[in-house]
Amino acid sequence: MKRKAVLITAMGEQTFTAGQRARLEAAGIIQYHRSLSPLSPEQLTTLLKDADVAGLTPRSVPVIDKESLGGLTKLKGITIFATGVDYIDTAWLEKQGIALVNLPEYSTISVAEHTMGLLLTLSRRIHLSQDRVRGRVPAGTSLRGWELRGKTIGLIGLGRIGSCVAELAAAFGMRVLGYDPRPERAAAVTRVDLEELLTSSDIVSLHYPSSWGSSHSFGASQLSLMKQGAVLINVSRSALVEDEAVVDAIEQGRLRGYAVDDRFSLADRAQQLIAEGRIVQTGHTAWYSDEVIERGYEAMVNNVIGLLTGDSEDTSSLWSRGMNSDA
């Protein structure tokens, strides 16, 4: 008897090509559901009550935990349209025997390129230059930038994305330092300890994952070690960085700028710094590109089929504790 999968995405059935739908429907009983906004636990329970497998996107299901899935006894596998699992109580899933499959490689190139885009935005004052042309900032606003060639960039996290950023930075003529506690990560960088990276880098870029229920890991103590006038880039998760400490460091003149691919939580306090272009925010869009969408849904289809048929070779990555880096 075929197993059932419920796939909840922004566009429902139209998310997938005709060929993808044919492959899915050959592997199991497939129900598509369209959701442009987060579902309540009650709605989710109703949709998934008979499902063996669920395909979920963070847009529709922004939290996966006991509260959202606790009443589902038939569910045996979940595939997510994401790399990070910080919004998922993975320990609870493990206790329930529910397999979790993520997409570890679908957005690597886009996120790495976005990292360089944020760095170029800060270094060349691109955001301020546009705003001045449009009359959004005073005419006297300085647009003077600085070059990347010859600068030192320190990468914290040397997984897939960190390694890709290292290649791009080297192409710009930058000196690349890297720190990662996992020795098996062998990116082509000069590996140093964390303190040396922070004290030696003109730019520090974060490429390691956040985890369920974790607190800030990059705050005042780390910022105090950074070079005077250095720049911090964060395309991982905003929760990694203590926003209060960033504002303090910029106001005190120790940090030149901060770029984050997410909403800045202290927007009210930081309005002046944002207006001056010292804090740059993008809307969690580092991953968002044509190629990522194409790769991601193809991988998600493979994951659903793998979970339905029990063939692990069809899944992109069966997530397990300690392997959830972006990265």
297 and 170 assigned to the same domain: no
Q: Are residues 84 and 63 in the same domain?
A: yes
CATH of the domain at 98: 3.40.50.720
Indicate the pTM of the whole model: 0.92
Q: Could you give the CA distance from residue 170 to residue 119 in angstroms, rounded to a whole number?
A: 14
pLDDT at 325: 45
Say yes or no: 160 and 244 in one domain: yes
Asked if the structure places residue 327 within a domain, the reply is no
Do 167 and 64 have their domain in common? no
326, part of any domain: no
Predicted pLDDT at 324: 41
Instruction: List average pLDDT for each run of 10 residues in the chain, which is 327 residues long.
Output: 95 97 98 97 96 97 96 95 94 95 96 98 95 86 94 96 96 97 80 97 95 81 97 95 95 96 85 90 96 97 96 58 43
Q: Considering the domain boundaries, does residue 325 fall inside one?
A: no
pLDDT at 319: 56
Co-location of 189 and 211 in the same domain: yes
Number of structural domains in the chain: 2
| In a shared domain, residues 121 and 81 | no
My answer on whether 116 and 263 are in the same domain is yes
What domain range is 75 assigned to?
4-106+289-314
Predicted pLDDT of residue 211: 77
Q: Looking at the structure, do residues 231 and 147 belong to the same domain, yes or no?
A: yes
Residue owning tokens 């038939």: 74
What is the predicted pLDDT for the residue at 68?
95
Q: Are residues 216 and 113 in the same domain?
A: yes
321, part of any domain: no
Same domain, 260 and 128: yes
